[in-house]
Chain A
Amino acid sequence: MKLFLKVWKQDGPQTEGRFESHVLDGVSEDSSFLEMLDQLNEQLLEEGKEPVAFDHDCREGICGTCSLNINGFAHGPENSTTTCQLHMRKFEDGDTITIEPFRAKAFPVIRDLVVDRSAFDKIIQAGGYITVRTGSAPDGNALPVPKEDADLAMDAAQCIGCGACVASCKNASAMLFTSAKAGHLNMLPQGQAEKDSRVLNMVAAMDEAGFGNCRNYGECSAACPKDISLDYIAKLNRDYAKAKIKKVFS
Chain B
Amino acid sequence: MSLYNRLVMQSSLIKKYIMALTGIVLVGFVFVHMAGNLQVLLGQEAINAYAHALQNLPAPILWGSRLFLLVCVVAHAVTAYQLIKENRAARPQSNEVEITKRAGWSSLRMGLTGSLMLAFIVFHLLHFTIRTIYPEYNDLKTTVGSPDGSEIHDVYSMILAGFRIDAISVFYVFCMFLLCRHLAHGVSSMFQSLGLRSESWRCKLDFAASAYGWIIFIGFSIIPVLVLAQKYGLVNCLDTCGSSCSVNL
- Residue ranges of A at the interface with B (Cβ–Cβ < 8 Å): 6, 8, 17, 19, 69, 71-73, 98, 100, 103-106, 168, 170-173, 203-204, 206-207, 210-219, 221-223, 229-231, 233-241, 244
Contact = CB atoms under 8 A, between A and B. Distances in A.
A119 B35 CA distance: 50
B199 A105 contact: no
B122 interface: no
Contacts of A106: 90
A239 B199 CA distance: 17
Contacts of B15: 213
B193 interface: yes
Contacts of A8: 96
B2 interface: no
Contacts of A19: 96
Interface in B134-189: 185, 188-189
A213 B83 contact: yes
B100 interface: yes
**Range, interface on chain B:** 35 or more
* Residue among A106, A216, A235 with max Cβ neighbours from chain B (10 Å): A216
Contact of A237 (B16, B99, B100, B202): B16
Nearest to B10: A207
Contacts of A212: 86-87, 89-91
B101 A237 contact: no
B98 A72 contact: yes
A230 B192 contact: yes
B56 interface: no
Interface in B29-88: 83, 86-87
28 contacts: A71-B97, A72-B95, A72-B98, A73-B99, A98-B96, A100-B95, A103-B93, A106-B90, A168-B101, A172-B90, A173-B12, A212-B87, A212-B90, A213-B90, A215-B83, A215-B87, A216-B189, A216-B192, A217-B103, A219-B100, A219-B102, A223-B101, A230-B192, A237-B13, A237-B17, A237-B193, A240-B13, A244-B14
A171 B193 contact: no
Residue picked from A100, A204, A233, A237, most chain B C-beta under 10 Å = A237
Chain A binding surface, main DSSP class: mixed
Contacts of B194: 237-238, 241
B68 to A, nearest CB: 22
B108 interface: yes
A238 B188 CA distance: 16
A4 to B, nearest CB: 14
A173 B83 CA distance: 11
Contact of A204 (B11, B91, B192, B199): B11
Given A235-B195, A241-B194, A71 B12 contact: no
Nearest to A200: B11
A239 B195 contact: yes
A231 B86 CA distance: 24
B199 A230 contact: yes
B91 A213 contact: no
Nearest to B20: A237
Most buried by B among A19, A213, A223: A213
Contacts of A223: 101
